[in-house]
Amino acid sequence: MSNDIKSMTLQEIQDVIKSAGFEKYRAQQVYEWVYKKKAQHTDDFKNIPLKVREYLEANYDFFLPEILKMQESEIDGTKKLLLQLDEDTKIETVILNDEGRYTACISSQAGCGCGCAFCATGTLGLKRDLTAGEITGQFLRDEIEAGQPLDNVVFMGMGEPLLNTDNVFKAIKILSDPHGRGFSQKRITVSTVGIIPGIDALAEEGFKVNLAVSLITADPAERAKIVPMEKKYPIKDVIKAAKKYAMKAESRLTFEYVLMEGVNDSPEDAEILVELIRGTECRVNLIPYNKVSGKKFASGRREKVLNFQRILKEYRINALIRKEKGADIDAACGQLAAKEGKK
């Protein structure tokens, strides 16, 4: 995979093109074919001389991750793709369609090592990090399948993006490079369980992406029981780092709160949440739990969810309930487990 063209920045392509003895500007043309025109074969690179194309073809891989399976929701058109990355690695990516606006939900790792008790990906354990090219490849696949330019990208598929910062950051730089796809960082959201060094690294890189923190539940002792990372990175410190980043980046800070019946959905739980985030400029996404087979967690009744939201609103906290998408095909973000991968 090391010679996957989609893992390379424009600078890196320029360097290899130059050292192969070709004009440097050919790299820019390659970048446009890959990211703007989504060509998957060097034969398509019409403005590039045959000699350069042959060199590229011999040394680099231009293929997008292969689609093993695609499911489309009959309810709302959400599409879930199972992609084959290599012989033993399959991952999922989801294209959400919200009244003509398309959001790609992208994976950053195959599996995840963080072990959150409620999460389907967590039960797989970490198989491996995805390369930058496997991340940009998902973007291109999703944009092709959407049939129109994507509006948003969220790192809410499989894996913890801030435990694969080398590749995730590189992919963000490639996708947002104006010489290529030029996808605005303001339309990218990185979702994290709360990896503080990763949040700090986002700030150091000078990124503008939005940050979402999977708060899950606001009581640290309860959180530690279902989110093991709480023991390493306590939520209070995570919030401090997240605020600092959002301030510097002038980006949006979201807290994801997955509502689970009897775990974190009582009025008292809402009050604890208010205490924790009061005064923080943020938005709360209330996510009714999606049932994962074999796990004891469940989502509560609709009235309970609405009541939880009402309490937050009383304190003027901007709380949205996430609309359910692709319910008939298990396609909710964060619910991905590549069942085929387990066989």
Per the residue annotation, which of 92, 134, 160, 230 is the catalytic one? 92
Q: 């496997």: which residue's tokens? A: 134
- Give the nearer residue to ligand SAH in terms of CB position, either 160 or 269: 160
Give dist(CA 217, CA 272) in Å, integer. 9
Give dist(CA 56, CA 51) in Å, integer. 9
Site for ligand SAH in 130-189 (CB under 6 A): 156, 160
- Give the nearer residue to ligand SF4 in terms of CB position, either 8 or 82: 82
Q: Pick the closest to residue 185 from 150, 148, 210, 155 (CA basis).
A: 210
209 in Cβ contact with 199 (< 8 Å): no
Buried b (16+ CB within 10 A) or exposed e, 219-241: beebbeebbbbbeebbbeebbeb
Binding mask 208-247 for ligand SF4 (x = CB under 6 A): ------x---------------------------------
Give dist(CA 53, CA 41) in Å, integer. 9
Binding mask 300-339 for ligand SAH (x = CB under 6 A): --------------------------------xxxx----
Give dist(CA 338, CA 93) in Å, integer. 10
169 in Cβ contact with 134 (< 8 Å): no
Binding mask 272-301 for ligand SAH (x = CB under 6 A): ---------------x-xx-x---------
Size of site (CB under 6 A) for ligand SAH = 20
- Give the nearer residue to ligand SF4 in terms of CB position, either 214 or 309: 214
Task: Kindly indicate which of the ranges 47-55, 99-107, 113-121, 174-182 contains the residues binding ligand SF4, using the contact rule CB under 6 A.
Answer: 113-121
Task: Kindly indicate which of the ranges 77-85, 111-119, 145-153, 242-250 contains the residues binding ligand SF4, using the contact rule CB under 6 A.
Answer: 111-119
Q: How many CA atoms lie within 13 A of 206 on its CB side?
A: 2
Q: Which residue is nearest to ligand SAH (CB)?
A: 334
By CB under 6 A, tell whether 122 contacts ligand SF4.
yes
Whether 92 is a known active-site residue: answer: yes
Sorted by sequence, the CB contacts under 8 Å of residue 101 that are 6+ apart come out as: 151, 152
Catalytic residues: 92, 333
Q: What residues make contact with ligand SF4 under the rule CB under 6 A?
A: 112, 114-116, 119, 121-122, 159-160, 193, 214, 334
